[in-house]
Amino acid sequence: MAPHILDAEIEGLKIKIAIDRGGTFTDCLGIVEGRKDDIVIKLLSQDPANYADAPIEGIRRILEQATGKSFPRDQKLNTTDFTSLSIRMGTTVATNALLERKGERVALLTTKGFKDALQIGTQSRPKLFDLNIQRPDVLYEDVIEVDERVTVEDYQQNPTPDREALLASLESGPNLTRGVSGEIIRVLQRLDEDKVRKDLQTLYARGYRSIAVVLVHSYTYQDHELRIRKIAEELGFQHISLSSQLLPMIKMTSRGASATADAYLTPVIKRYIEGFRSGFKDGLRSTDTRCEFMQSDGGLVTFEKFSGLRAILSGPAGGVVGHARTSFDEVDDTPVIGFDMGGTSTDVSRYDGKFEHTFESVTAGVTVMAPQLDINTVAAGGGSILFWRHGLFVVGPESAGAHPGPACYRKGGPLTVTDANLFLGRLLPKHFPNIFGPGEDEPLDVDITRKKFVELAKQINRETGLSKSAEEIALGFIEVANESMAKPIRALTEARGYETAPHNLACFGGAGGQHACAIASSLNIQTVIIHRYSSILSAYGMALADAVHEAQEPASGYLDNEALVLIRQRIDILKAKVHEELMAETIPADQIHYEVYLNLRYKGTDNLLMILNPEDGDFASEFIKQHKREFSFTFPGRPIVIEDIRVRGVGKSLSVPAESPHEELKTLKMIELEQESQDDSATVYFAETGHTTTPVFFLDAIKQGSLIRGPAVIIDKTQTIVVEPRAQATVLSRHVVLKIPAQKAQENSDGPLVADPVRLSVFGYRFMSVADQMSRMFQKTSVSTNIKERLDFSCAVFSPDGKLVANAPNVPVHLGSMEYAVRYQHEQHEGKLHPGDHLCTNHPLAGGTHLPDITIITPVWDEEGKSIIFYVASRGHHAEIGGIQPGSMPSNSRMLYEEGAMTMGFKIVSEDRFNEDVVRKFLYDEPASYPGCSGTRTWNDNVSDLKAAIAANQKGAQLLRSLVEDTSLKVVHFYMDAIKDNAEVAVREYLNTVGKSSGGEPLRFSDFMDDGTEICLEVRIDNETGSADFDFTGTGTETFNCLNAPKAIAHSAIIYSLRCLIDVDIPLNQGCLAPCNVIIPSGTLLNPSGTAAVCAGNPITSQRITDVVLGAFNACAASQGCCNIVSFGMGGLDKDGNEVPGFGVGETICGGSGAGPTWHGTSAVHCHMTNTRITDPEVYELRYPVILRQFSIRQGSGGKGRFRGGDGSIRELEFRIPLSVSMLSERRVCRPYGMAGGGEGQPGLNLYLRKELDGSVRTINIGGKMELNVQPGERLIIHT
């Protein structure tokens, strides 16, 4: 039954209206107390010829049906006569404004030195293989730099912290204060209020009325932002978004992007709400009228408090609440996966009795730091376009949209998933309204869909030699679409420590019912729940939602009994704030309850978990339990750090009866519905039975308790449910429950196998899914900044002989190069490995790239543990592994041993036993035995990250064994090889095209390193076979510095470049290099001897190789050709051989990308062979004894031309204690080249601001490579 309002019974009509205003359709639900049937209205969101506003039109129609009276369109709605009217709405107004960039004009105020910080963001590029790098536009139009600065006084990496001295300094230091989080803050420069006032007056005169403010460390020191707000209010600004007040969490760039989004969107939301209210006679101010909006966190808020930042996932949030409240049963306790398939995308979510939130996400290229329901989205829906490309079936991510829409919409659109369903009989045109075609008065066009699939089948059969029917082709595309939509479900479950099978699947959205059986079957889920309102479940979810208000504050310190006393006092204060807000929304006090969370992590890690207060109040035990499930390990005895305190107040404005179907299923007597009861029939194509005459049932006419065996089609006014053969549907009062049979046994693979392009595409997804989930596990379980935040790692799957099958493309320089490491270990350890063994290697002669990149290799065994059926490997960059300098990236290394720990390979784990003694010898004892060298300065972090790589490999091994169980080893290996062949074909086709266009002439290019060493390349293409020699003969001799690049790096650069040049998704595996014969003479820069220093070859020389390869293909101008590596730290062995506690850290800095034939280069972005992120300024200063004085774009440094090169960046570091610093960079002499007459880019420049004994400061050009021993207050300014 529908929920009822808690108000005391009063004579008159009580109506509750819930609305989901989507991009295409607006769904409206009217629940009238005392009326048996609810009122459902579905209308176009935009129909200006008939109405101005879809929600008002929907309300008007509901009121007419509820009362039997006329509510004319040309008059404002009069709702004052109702005893109670509740309106709840989710809207895409904010999302659309963000997508279309149609928000308010906004100016940004930020700390001096950071005017470009939000534009640079994390410095990574959105699409790894796009030469034309396209960053989303920023939302602000103007930036004002504010003269103010604060920093955190202590730093987390301090090896000898003195808490008592720090607290004592707080008493005596006039510029020290305690932040909201409890951390000690040093005010370096107080706010210049006069300048702020003048700048704000200038902005006001330019017409700005909305501003965003983000200052460094304002999450804990809020005074300066609050003072700016006061000045802005005095000057008349109408909207002021302070990052410190929206969500006071660390990370300046994320918080700043969120503040900007709020300033950009909230005025749009307010205008929309005012326009909406103007459609009502009382402006929705009547005491008997309540109007609320759904927020992204799944809670309702009154229209006065609805803001742009919290509105971005307003509609999808309603769907999550809807499936949670209608599918989950507290007694049964089976967790539910929500599957919301729409026109352009599919949203998946998980509910196990509590809503799961995320606090940082990206929407339309904008980082949003706000509580949001954890919703994973994949670009696959009914409108996803179908492609036949390089022998693979590809679905999306491009969408046909509403215009022109799918081919069957009669507007000249392409084939889509919707067309495939229509062609196979899974959509029934005669039960659809005639709203298609140019005049929007025709039915769906089956004929054009059939014609296009027949044409496509002919093409595919011609190219493959197969004889597939058009129906098989269409079904193949559906299978590929289903696999792409299953991928985020696996990420939401398996990648987070949950098995997928023990879930129920709650299916909703316009297209969900057509795919429910197949999706569930592929995930081994046996129960699908479809609510009768599944096509409008987002609207229904809003009817079932609660009012919510949250309060959150940052915290610091360890979780112990003493801290909990203070924490509980702060919790009480936050509860009082939340209570006051909910009471102001007229929520009765007895209907308010609180969810209290602590955001916790282990000391020295970034694995934050938001822990809900357990019943026994033991936050620590609950944190340890969840950490074990999520990350598969714990740190016994390590302190737990409190990062944030969060109180979520929930106002139960409704008494919602349980709508889960489980109790009804237990008690209801089932009656099998015979085919004679069918309302219609249709010819539907199924994989198992081919064309099948299938009964069609109208849902509204089916009696409660009816059981329908598949195949069948169940339809109502808004949805189509396909019940596949062997499945069965049970119709309940509010639900349809599908039971899916257990997955079929392994297929018989005794006979010869023939590559099927559909299965090839599906296996491509499955292999990549394994690598992706390994990556998620590695990132989650690591502790170092380098791997967890900067994402300097890669994971991959390999064949039993060590050849690359699938590589999660995180860092391009790892593409292909890991194969050489795996093959080397395979050959060295053949016949010597056992189940439970894991190998560790990093030496250049053993397939390594540079020593900090440590690779863990794990054999995957068959069921009997006798044969290796795969290898999996994870490679991560360890920021510290010993050597002559902290950070293990010395600019002055000449011999390999000076760069830290090295090994040709050893068993890091022997039959499940971690060999800590051997690891200590590798990382600590052996590096320290060389002259002038130390062992690692971060032993604990190293070990933790090595164990994280092992955990990632174990995840990959588990998933591969599951894949074998689902099919058979023979089939899996067959498609493993077929996918490699597919990649090879794509590369050969491209090389063939290039060879013909060049008339058979070799492609030649060369470039020089700053020391004068030349990199030469000649590409000779065989036009008959598509093979090519990549010949680096003529490249300079290996150098007596660290720029030498092991030969695996050139292979990675070639794979990366070819993938960019082909410019469509192809499998990244060994097949990409199969057509390429790479010739690199020994003893050269690109194939050095085994003792040569190589630390810069991986991050820097690799960039120069890539510039040369792309130059040979005349693809684009040079990018920055560097990674600008800065390393610093302290500790190790002193001159007397004593160990000094310390740390080491390194970072790479972005520059400009090269322009192309039709595009400008992009400024301040990581290019080509790396895509690592930069650490947020606040996190950087919290962890290390530095002050980041500037991070900006180096304006005008890109080459001039019709298409300009991207500008570099400027990064200025001030050091707070004595440290060892390494600067390692290129392109300080030889400038990045232009093409087709375009100009060169500016060379980089590294400046050292050195303090002299007399107090003066010298500015020194230190060149591209230098070791420094800096003193407090000295600075390093890097111009890239």
Around Cβ 428, how many Cβ atoms within 10 Å? 16
User: pLDDT, tens digit, for every residue of 601-637?
Assistant: 888 777 788 899 998 889 999 999 888 877 777 888 8
User: pLDDT, tens digit, for every residue of 237-261?
Assistant: 999 999 999 989 899 999 999 999 9
In this structure, what token pair is assigned to residue 196? 């702020």
Point out the least confidently predicted range of 566-580, 805-819, 1170-1184. Answer: 805-819
User: pLDDT, tens digit, for every residue of 1094-1132?
Assistant: 998 988 999 999 999 999 999 999 999 999 999 998 887
In angstroms, rounded to a whole number, what is the distance separating the alpha carbons of residues 304 and 292?
9
In this structure, what token pair is assigned to residue 249? 């969490």
Contact 673, 697 (CB under 8 A): yes
Mean pLDDT of the chain: 88
| Banded model confidence at residue 12, pLDDT cuts 50, 70, 90 | low
| Beta strand extents in 710-787 (DSSP E only) | 712-715, 720-723, 728-731, 735-739
pLDDT of 9 reads 32
In angstroms, rounded to a whole number, what is the distance separating the alpha carbons of residues 1000 and 1022?
8
Contact 1000, 991 (CB under 8 A): no
In angstroms, rounded to a whole number, what is the distance separating the alpha carbons of residues 83 and 498?
47
What's the rounded mean pLDDT across residues 95-107? 88
User: pLDDT, tens digit, for every residue of 194-242?
Assistant: 999 999 999 999 999 999 999 999 999 999 999 999 999 999 999 999 9
Q: Exposure of 1231 by Cβ count < 10 A (0-12 exposed, 13-18 middle, 19+ buried)?
A: middle
In angstroms, rounded to a whole number, what is the distance separating the alpha carbons of residues 686 and 684?
7
Exposure string over 144-156, b if 16+ CB within 10 A, otherwise e: bbbebbbbbbbbe
User: pLDDT, tens digit, for every residue of 295-340?
Assistant: 998 988 888 889 988 888 888 899 899 899 899 988 888 999 999 8
User: pLDDT, tens digit, for every residue of 435-485?
Assistant: 778 877 888 899 999 999 999 999 999 988 888 999 999 999 999 889 888
* Structural class in CATH, domain 547-653: alpha beta
pLDDT of 6 reads 31
In this structure, what token pair is assigned to residue 270? 């307010």
Say yes or no to pLDDT of 3 above 50. no
In angstroms, rounded to a whole number, what is the distance separating the alpha carbons of residues 627 and 602?
9
Residue 284 identity (one-letter amino acid): L
pLDDT of 121 reads 92
| Banded model confidence at residue 786, pLDDT cuts 50, 70, 90 | confident
| Banded model confidence at residue 1259, pLDDT cuts 50, 70, 90 | very high
pLDDT of 1205 reads 96
User: pLDDT, tens digit, for every residue of 117-130?
Assistant: 999 999 999 888 89
Cα-based angle 977, 966, 489 (whole degrees, multiple of 5): 100
In angstroms, rounded to a whole number, what is the distance separating the alpha carbons of residues 892 and 1224?
9
In angstroms, rounded to a whole number, what is the distance separating the alpha carbons of residues 423 and 445?
10
Domain boundaries, the chain: 103-150+191-267, 151-189, 384-540+661-739, 547-653, 757-981, 1118-1280
User: pLDDT, tens digit, for every residue of 389-418?
Assistant: 888 888 888 888 767 888 998 888 899 999
Contact 409, 444 (CB under 8 A): yes
Helices (H), 79-183: 93-100, 117-120, 163-172
Contact 319, 340 (CB under 8 A): yes
103-150+191-267 folds as Rossmann fold (3.40.50)
Point out the least confidently predicted range of 175-179, 538-542, 754-758, 1166-1170. Answer: 754-758
| Banded model confidence at residue 1, pLDDT cuts 50, 70, 90 | very low
Cα-based angle 1057, 1062, 1067 (whole degrees, multiple of 5): 85
Say yes or no to pLDDT of 693 above 80. yes
Distance separating the N- and C-terminal Cα atoms of the chain: 65
